[in-house]
Amino acid sequence: MPFYLDAQATPFAVSGVPFLYWAGTRNLMLYYQPAKHGWIPGYAVSFSANTNKHREGAKIMDEQRALTAHLLRRAGFGATPQELDDYLELGYEATVEKLLHPDQASLLDDDVVRRYPIDQNSLMLIESSQAYWLYRMINTPFPLQEKITLFWHGLFATAYGKLNHAKGMVNQTNIFRRGGLGSFRTLLLELARDPAMIFWLDNKDNHKEAPNENFGRELLELFSMGIGNYTEDDVKSCARAFTGWTIANAEYMSIRASRDSIWPHGRLDWQFVYDPEDHDDTSKTFLGQTGRFNGEDVIDIICAQPACAWFVASKLYNFFVSDTPDEAAIQILADEFQRSHGNIESVLRTMFLSGFFRSEQVRFARVKSPAEMVAGTARLAGSHRSTDWSIVGLAMDANFMGQEILNPPSVEGWHTGTEWIDTGSLVERINSAAQEVGNAGQPGVKEIIRRMRDGQDVLSPQDFVDRCLDLAGGVKVMEATNRHLTGYAASQGDLRFDRDDLVACSEQRVADMLQLIVATREYQLA
């Protein structure tokens, strides 16, 4: 039976033999390509074919699919079957470039997002602001843009609990969204001018005659260099450099926010202002350099430090690669940070194309944060594609798992890795994920069912499990887990779509299997 080239087919070669991979199937389409004649239709070769070349080709395609799925888990929130097919067709390196260059003209119309429901319009409530961001995580066509926003939110941890100003938190995440893939120096400068950060770390109380060291200390310790790379005198000089960086009418706005006196008409946006009369313009010694430094000068000096390169590189490695540090890999990223003058896009490109990121050893070796967990599962299920108030429930799920976005517990952010998992949070993680995928009527689940039926009316228990794992985002489970899943599937016999009276039951069996998959250890990992 001949097949013909279309947009869903991806070319590659095995031992000099050209192949096309037909996206969304488990077949390889073999073609010969004589000079000047283009692709010649050949025949479909099953993954189970007996020839060595065919098996080698299948193995290569399986690896490419697994690698692409790995990238999309780390650089985004996982992938739907169609997204995985589309990115596989694009190729790995081209996928990396697409992720690194989000279209700044967002396809998510904020006017629509915030109009329905009306509660989100002013973004006054922490719940509405959380719902707004989760909607973007779930539905964005630019997953790395939202993922890097989440990264910076965890690093530059600022919390609603002190600010009592949800819109201020939203404005801060917009800084990360706009500039999170750009210059680290520019990002630090914008952060130092951000009213939410100024309020959070008390720089509104940092005056020429009475310096407040809170922001200066955390800028060095938690945001750029880490303990051991500066002195107490450096902290004092840093604080003096940022005197006069404040919020317009700071005292009045602080009182109004604390008393909630601006309801019910919505919150007023805070505005940054520089007060030269309140700035300490005297000479300062900072990290071995002396001058009449202002905040911009201090940030320039910080960003030129090798300690800053290592600090940022280690944080990026922990977030995107592994919970276990690898000094050699971190040094590669730190070197690129210095070479590119702190360009985050360049550092991430180096990371995603590296051998240590592609290695099988780091796949499913990093615990998903609650936000990643709920957003990724909702994306897979195809739920919350419209802006209804029910998405607040997802924010609550993440909260119960230990991560209340926009309201981290302290300036240190959240403790990550295995600390995300305890007996209580694990139950919440499993229940939340299972609820999302357990409804066979959800758009994403329906698409998975359609693909299960595509060209195959009867699936053996093993094929049923393998297809579900693949369509759930390329999940690779341990042999023992696969055996248990297959045993459960076998207890109910083959998956059958060849009889009308069995279709509804088979569709629910797919949803049930997805529930079991999202409850596995591997699904909890990225």
Cβ pair 86, 475 in contact under 8 A = no
Residues 261 and 282 in one domain: yes
Tell me whether residue 348 is in a domain. Answer: yes
* Of the candidates 305, 314, 311, the residue with the CA atom closest to the CA atom of residue 338: 305
Stretch (H or E) spanning 496: strand 495-496
Q: Given 100, 126, 152, which residue is the final one in a domain? A: 100
Residues 92 and 160 in one domain: no
Tell me whether residue 164 is in a domain. Answer: yes
Residues 85 and 166 in one domain: no
Compute CA distances 99 → 64, 314, 333, 375, 523, whole Å.
17, 21, 18, 18, 22
pLDDT band at 454 (very low <50, low <70, confident <90, very high): confident
- Count of CB atoms within 10 A of residue 441's CB? 10
Tell me whether residue 471 is in a domain. Answer: yes
Residues 69 and 151 in one domain: no
The contacts of residue 263 (CB under 8 Å, 6+ apart) are 124
Instruction: Kindly report the three-state secondary structure assignment for every residue of 442-494.
Output: CHHHHHHHHHHHCCCCEECHHHHHHHHHHHCCCCCCCHHHHHHHHHHHHCCCC
Using DSSP, state whether 328 is helix, strand or coil: helix
Q: What is the pLDDT of residues 208-237, one digit of tens each?
A: 999 999 999 999 999 999 999 999 999 999
Find which of 58-72, 76-90, 122-136, 330-344 is predicted with most confidence, using mean pLDDT. Answer: 330-344
CA distance 489 to 476: 17
Question: Taking every pair of C-alpha atoms in the chain, what is the biggest distance, in angstroms?
Answer: 84
Q: Token pair for residue 200?
A: 């959070």
Residues 117 and 71 in one domain: no
CA distance 59 to 46: 12
pLDDT, residue 3, reads: 35
Kindly report which listed range (319-328, 419-428, 482-491) carries the lowest average pLDDT score: 419-428
Q: Nearest-5° angle of CA 298, CA 300, CA 302?
A: 70
Tell me whether residue 409 is in a domain. Answer: no
Residues 191 and 295 in one domain: yes
The torsion of the CA quartet 209, 213, 214, 219, rounded to 10 degrees, works out to 120
Q: Token pair for residue 117?
A: 């429901």
Tell me whether residue 387 is in a domain. Answer: no
pLDDT band at 127 (very low <50, low <70, confident <90, very high): confident
Position 446 pLDDT exceeds 80: yes
| DSSP 8-state code for residue 192 | H
| DSSP 8-state code for residue 525 | B
**Domain span at 78:** 9-100
What residues does 285 pair with on adjacent strands? 290
CA distance 157 to 323: 19
Q: Which residue has the higher pLDDT, 311 or 385?
A: 311
Question: First CA to last CA across the chain, in angstroms?
Answer: 39
The contacts of residue 181 (CB under 8 Å, 6+ apart) are 100, 102, 144, 145, 148, 344, 345, 348
The contacts of residue 149 (CB under 8 Å, 6+ apart) are 173, 176, 177, 180
The torsion of the CA quartet 227, 202, 154, 338, rounded to 10 degrees, works out to -50
Give the mean pLDDT of 506-522.
95
Residues 262 and 348 in one domain: yes
Residues 122 and 78 in one domain: no
pTM of the model: 0.86
Q: What phi and psi values does residue 29 have, to the nearest 5 degrees?
A: -100, 110
Q: Given 67, 100, 133, which residue is the final one in a domain? A: 100
Q: Residue 526 burial by CB count (10 A; 0-12/13-18/19+): exposed, middle or buried?
A: buried
Tell me whether residue 147 is in a domain. Answer: yes
Tell me whether residue 93 is in a domain. Answer: yes
Q: What is the pLDDT of residues 68-114, one digit of tens each?
A: 999 999 999 999 999 999 999 889 999 999 999 987 545 556 666 66
For 375-406, letters b (16+ CB in 10 Å) and e give bbbbbbbbbbeebeeebbebbbbbbbbbbbbb
Tell me whether residue 219 is in a domain. Answer: yes
Q: Which residue has the higher pLDDT, 123 or 441?
A: 441
CA distance 370 to 421: 10
Q: Given 100, 120, 149, which residue is the final one in a domain? A: 100
Residues 195 and 264 in one domain: yes
Q: What is the pLDDT of residues 247-285, one digit of tens each?
A: 887 666 666 666 554 444 455 678 899 999 999 999 999
Cβ pair 188, 224 in contact under 8 A = yes
Residues 342 and 283 in one domain: yes
What residues does 330 pair with on adjacent strands? none
Cβ pair 275, 290 in contact under 8 A = no
Please give the tally of structural domains in the chain: 3
Residues 206 and 296 in one domain: yes
* Mean pLDDT, all residues of the chain: 85
Residues 215 and 75 in one domain: no
